[in-house]
């Protein structure tokens, strides 16, 4: 019996190496370069190998036929690797634990994408299947049921213990090596392997209490920002906030020209009213994270950008701007050009104080663009809501969809042509599609503003982007045309994690350039701009903005606009950041 078990253990050691090799080579798209990883990070490689071996051992003990156990574990592992491969191809980022709860969203969006079977995928799957089938040479172990259960628990415990210890040790080693460079998710996976990288992301999802936290400390921090005589006579303007899908100023890409400026109206309003950029925590996806930051003033940096806030952090007690405005007599609406359940908005909006939510399924024969509800149709719905709601001030939060990735379709509705040296036909097609789509958004904004220019009631319109568009695979176009250098340091991330915004009004509020601010500040800046000063936390954010213009996992911007790494922050700036997290932790009611 022992002899058979030892033989099976040795065979599974070989098979686990083979399957690990196939999975890691697939992710790296290099079946020879993987040996470089093994030599440069031998400890990470060894831990990944042991983790897969322990999984195979546990499955073989639990199953009467070892071959069946290997096939189950191997197929699950390779499925994760294939999904991660395609996610990287599409968005430039590997699979994370938070993506698992977004399976429905991913399936919905994938219908719009032209996903092709890649050569690396075919090779990886075939090689791994050959390895898995070799396990059928193992003879069944004659174990009683209770012994199988004990063995499964034992190997499962060893697996989770090894995974957690490995994740901690590899992280510590990496942090020593990285100096002041950001530890990106991709680098984490590339250095530490998929299984350790995935485990590290699971560990990071655990939200820890801030250092020095107490409710009394939070009360003392906010006390100075409670206004004794608040402004009860601010104009209470209609407020329309538009989060424009993948909004980006294409004219910032060097060496590329357009027959027409795609954002001419947007830029003109910015020059004559309020403009700036918001620093975001996401690129190419996870739209709802930026949306959450703007509506609540909370940053997903503290709770990990991979944690989908709408699904994990929002509940009926979550403070928000819509709730503050409800107290002022506002009617609150949300309009979205996609499905209600996407990112669980239907539940999150209720908890955030949105009274009426209108999504794509509620619109009757809307105008489409690229098979999505057009921005023009959403503007028409906003105007309709205003005209049907003139007894109370209106707050309307709009989320557009028509400029969502991918840009592999051909869209030329506005006749904008793109030119540039060294542009491939595919790159030109994608930029043309995106430029014409953004022009639709620009025209829709102009249509909305032109309408409210004729309205006597005070109105403010805010338009901002959720994240930069993933114009191609793995940031290649941004790097090719020198928008970024390609080393993904603070300077590169500063450009990749930033989108423009404007604030227009029809009642003579002063023009202002706000520069770059954190996305979590945008809502408080809007309230401050219209004269609202009744919420201590929103007032606190105005003060924090004077010390840290933006903060996050990729870069920080100090009061002088200087770009910094987290390690380079002064003691005062670090204290400001920790105090801000204490307050947000308290508002999230995570105790």
Check the CA dihedral 136-139-145-149 and report its sign.
negative
Q: Measure Cα distances from 359 to 13, 108, 136, 367, 497 in Å.
A: 52, 15, 52, 14, 27
Neighbours of 517 (CB within 10 A): 21
pLDDT for residue 115 is more than 60: no
pLDDT at 378 over 70: yes
User: What is the number of alpha carbons within 13 Å of residue 546 lying toward its C-beta?
Assistant: 4
Cβ-count burial 172-198 (b if 16+ within 10 Å, e if not): eebeeeeeeebebbeebbbbbbbbbbb
Name the CATH superfamily for 238-588. Alkaline Phosphatase, subunit A (3.40.720.10)
Lowest average pLDDT, out of 87-101, 245-259, 321-335, goes to 87-101
Q: Which of 107-111, 272-276, 351-355, 583-587 has the lowest mean pLDDT?
A: 107-111
pLDDT higher than 50, residue 130: yes
Query: Does the structure show a pLDDT above 70 at 263?
Result: yes
> What pLDDT score was predicted for residue 98?
67
pLDDT of residue 514: 94
Percent of the chain's residues with pLDDT above 70: 88
* CA 167 – CA 173 distance, rounded (Å): 10
Domain coordinates of the chain in residue numbers?
Answer: 2-204, 238-588
Q: What is the per-residue pLDDT for 135? A: 67
- The pLDDT score that the predictor gives to residue 42 is 86
pLDDT at position 182, please?
37
Q: 373 forms bridges with which residues in the sheet? A: 368
Tokens of 217: 């400390």
User: What integer pLDDT is reported at residue 151 of this predicted model?
Assistant: 67
**Per-residue confidence band for 87, with pLDDT thresholds at 50, 70 and 90:** confident
Return the higher-pLDDT residue of 473 and 91: 473
How sure is the predictor about 180, in pLDDT bands with cuts at 50, 70 and 90? very low
The answer to whether residue 184 scores a pLDDT higher than 50 is yes
| CA dist list (Å): 480 to 251, 427, 468, 579 | 15, 11, 16, 40
Is residue 108 pLDDT above 70, yes or no? no
Model confidence at 176, pLDDT cuts 50, 70, 90, reads: very low
CA–CA dist 333, 340 (Å, integer): 13
- Predicted pLDDT of residue 103: 55
Do 244 and 400 contact (CB within 8 A), yes or no?
yes
Query: How does DSSP assign 157-186, residue by residue?
Result: HHHHHHHHHHHHHHHHHHHHHHTTS---HH
Lowest-pLDDT range of 256-265, 273-282, 324-333, 419-428? 419-428
Q: For the segment 520-561, what is each residue's pLDDT rounded down to a tens digit?
A: 999 999 999 999 999 999 999 999 999 999 999 888 999 988
How many CA atoms lie less than 13 Å away from 562 in the CB half-sphere?
A: 11
CA angle 321, 326, 331 (to 5 degrees): 110
**Banded model confidence at residue 29, pLDDT cuts 50, 70, 90:** confident
Mean pLDDT of 267-277: 95
Give the closest residue to 330 by CA, choosing from 342, 341, 339, 322: 322
Give the per-residue pLDDT at 22.
84
DSSP 8-state code for residue 390: -
pLDDT value, residue 147: 60
Residue 26 has pLDDT above 50, yes or no: yes
**Crossing angle, helix 194-204 and helix 2-28, to 10 degrees?**
80
In this prediction, residue 4 has a pLDDT band, given cuts at 50, 70 and 90, of low
**In the predicted structure, residue 28 carries a pLDDT above the cut 60:** yes
Average pLDDT in the 67-80 region?
A: 83
Secondary structure of residue 581 in the 3-state scheme: helix
Run of H or E residues at 331: strand 331-336
> What is the C-alpha to C-alpha distance for residues 420 and 437, in angstroms, rounded to an integer?
19
Helix axes 42-62 and 66-91, enclosed angle (nearest 10):
140
Burial of 270 (0-12, 13-18, 19+ CB in 10 A): buried
Higher pLDDT, 106 or 190: 190
The residue ranking higher by pLDDT, 400 or 69, is: 400
Mean pLDDT across 114-120:
62
> Across residues 68-94, what is the average pLDDT?
79
Output the CA–CA distances (angstroms, integers) from residue 75 to 71, 96, 195, 511, in the order listed. Answer: 6, 18, 15, 59
Residue ranges of E strands in 86-206: none
Closest to 204 measured CA to CA, from 180, 218, 188, 193: 188
Comparing 167-176, 197-206, 359-368, 480-489, the range with the smallest average pLDDT is 167-176
Q: Which residue has the higher pLDDT, 161 or 469?
A: 469
CA distance 546 to 550: 10
Average pLDDT over residues 302-320: 87
Most confident region among 4-13, 45-54, 426-435, 470-479 by mean pLDDT: 426-435
Q: Angle at Cα 578 formed by Cα 574 and Cα 584, nearest 5°? A: 145
152 has pLDDT over 90: no
Mean pLDDT value across the chain: 85
Supply the pTM of this predicted model.
0.78
């Amino acid at each position: 019996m022992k002899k058979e078990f030892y033989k099976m253990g040795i065979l599974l050691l070989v098979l686990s190496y083979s399957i690990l090799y196939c999975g890691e080579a697939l992710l790296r798209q290099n079946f020879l370069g993987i040996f470089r990883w093994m030599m440069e990070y031998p400890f990470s490689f060894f831990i990944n190998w042991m983790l897969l071996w322990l999984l195979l051992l546990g499955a073989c003990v639990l199953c009467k036929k070892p071959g069946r156990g290997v096939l189950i574990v191997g197929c699950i592992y390779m499925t994760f690797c294939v999904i991660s491969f395609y996610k990287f191809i599409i968005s430039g980022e590997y699979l994370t634990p938070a993506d698992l709860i977004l399976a429905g969203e991913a399936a919905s969006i994938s219908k719009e994408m032209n996903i092709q079977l890649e050569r690396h995928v075919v090779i990886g799957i075939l090689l791994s299947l050959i390895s898995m089938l070799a396990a059928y040479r193992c003879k069944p172990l004659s174990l009683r049921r209770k012994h199988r259960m004990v063995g499964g628990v034992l190997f499962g415990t060893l697996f989770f213990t090894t995974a957690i210890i490995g994740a901690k040790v590899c992280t510590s080693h990496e942090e020593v090596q990285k100096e002041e460079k950001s530890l990106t998710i991709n680098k984490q996976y590339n250095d530490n392997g998929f299984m350790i990288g995935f485990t590290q992301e699971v560990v990071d999802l655990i939200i820890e209490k801030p250092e020095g936290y107490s409710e009394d400390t939070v009360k003392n921090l906010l006390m100075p920002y409670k206004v004794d005589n608040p402004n009860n006579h601010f104009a209470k303007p209609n407020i329309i906030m538009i989060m424009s899908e993948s909004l980006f100023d294409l004219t910032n890409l060097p060496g590329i020209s357009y027959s027409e400026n795609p954002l001419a109206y947007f830029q003109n309003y910015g020059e004559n009213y309020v403009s700036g950029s918001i620093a975001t925590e996401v690129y190419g996806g996870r739209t709802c994270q930026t949306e959450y930051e703007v509506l609540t003033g909370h940053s997903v940096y503290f709770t990990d950008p991979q944690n989908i806030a709408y699904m994990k952090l929002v509940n009926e007690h979550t403070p928000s701007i819509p709730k503050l405005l409800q107290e002022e007599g506002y009617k609150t609406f949300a309009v979205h050009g996609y499905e209600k359940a996407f990112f669980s908005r239907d539940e999150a909006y209720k908890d955030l104080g949105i009274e009426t939510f209108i999504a794509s399924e509620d619109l009757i024969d809307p105008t489409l663009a690229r098979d999505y509800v057009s921005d023009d149709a959403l503007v028409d719905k906003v105007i309709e809501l205003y005209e049907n709601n003139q007894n109370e001030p209106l707050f309307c939060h709009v989320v557009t969809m028509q400029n969502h990735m991918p840009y592999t379709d051909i869209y030329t509705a506005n006749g904008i042509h793109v030119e540039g040296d060294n542009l491939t036909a595919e790159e030109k097609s994608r930029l043309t599609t995106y430029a014409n789509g953004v022009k639709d958004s620009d025209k829709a904004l102009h249509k909305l503003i032109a309408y409210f220019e004729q309205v006597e009631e005070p109105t403010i319109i805010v338009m901002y982007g959720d994240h930069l568009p993933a114009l191609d695979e793995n940031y290649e176009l941004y790097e090719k045309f020198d928008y970024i250098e390609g080393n993904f340091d603070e300077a590169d991330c500063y450009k990749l994690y930033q989108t423009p915004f404007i604030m227009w009004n029809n009642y003579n509020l002063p023009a202002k350039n706000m520069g770059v601010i954190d996305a979590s500040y945008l809502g408080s800046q809007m309230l401050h701009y219209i004269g609202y000063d009744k919420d201590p936390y929103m007032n606190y954010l105005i003060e924090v903005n004077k010390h840290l213009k933006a903060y996050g996992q990729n870069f920080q911007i100090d009061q002088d606009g200087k770009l910094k790494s987290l390690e380079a922050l002064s003691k005062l700036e670090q204290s400001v950041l920790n105090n801000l997290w204490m307050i947000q932790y308290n508002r999230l009611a995570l105790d």
